[in-house]
Amino acid sequence: MSNDITGFGSAISLVASSTFPVGIAITQLADDSDPFDMSSVKIADTAMGVNGDLIKWSRAIGKPVTISVIPGSLDDINLATLAAANNATQGQANAQDVITITILYPDGSVITFSNGFLTDAPFGSSLASSGRLKTKTYGFMFQAITGTV
């Protein structure tokens, strides 16, 4: 049996409560960095009791996500707008957006990340030694995930 694991044709929808309440589509994904990444998170801790008994406890943990887009693309401009709106700046209130991201995969499966926040963003364009602009990667942290995994 073979499995088709292509990611070609994936699409991301992002809704930000204040900045993009109607939502935006993100499709201009990077070619030199993982376009969409969900890092592994530690959901439990363990220890050994004094007499050698293994004990385990669960941990509540945020779910980190990164999205890498083509620098200067419309998607990069939109994500930079989101970052600027949520950047704490002296004398200015920030948007305090609550973010939902929905990923549609080519096989029809859907994952939704909800109750999240933008946590990392590049401010400006960096230049790679190859002479091209570096891919822009935006980091998010979410409270909940629903859908097929």
Query: What is the tens place of the pLDDT at every residue in 109-121?
Result: 999 999 999 999 9
**SS in 3 state form for the chain?**
CCCCCCCCCCEEEEEECCCEEEEEEECCECCCCCCEEECCCCCEEEEECCCCCEEEEECCCCEEEEEEECCCCHHHHHHHHHHHHHCCECCECCCCCCEEEEEECCCCCEEEEEEEEEEECCCCCCECCCCCECCEEEEEEEEEEEECC
Region 44-54: mean pLDDT is 95
Percent of the chain with pLDDT over 70: 99
Region 104-110: mean pLDDT is 91
The whole-model pTM stands at 0.90
| Domains of the chain, start order | 11-148 (2.40.30)
- pLDDT band with cut points at 50, 70 and 90 for residue 92: confident
Residue 82 above 80 pLDDT? Answer: yes
Integer Cα distance of 17 and 29 in angstroms: 23
More confident residue, 5 or 113: 113
- Cβ burial 70-105 (10 Å sphere, 16+ → b, else e): bbebebbebbbebbebbeeeeeeeebebebbbbbbb
pLDDT confidence of residue 129: 87
Residue 55 above 90 pLDDT? Answer: yes
Query: What is the tens place of the pLDDT at every residue in 27-47?
Result: 999 988 889 999 899 999 999
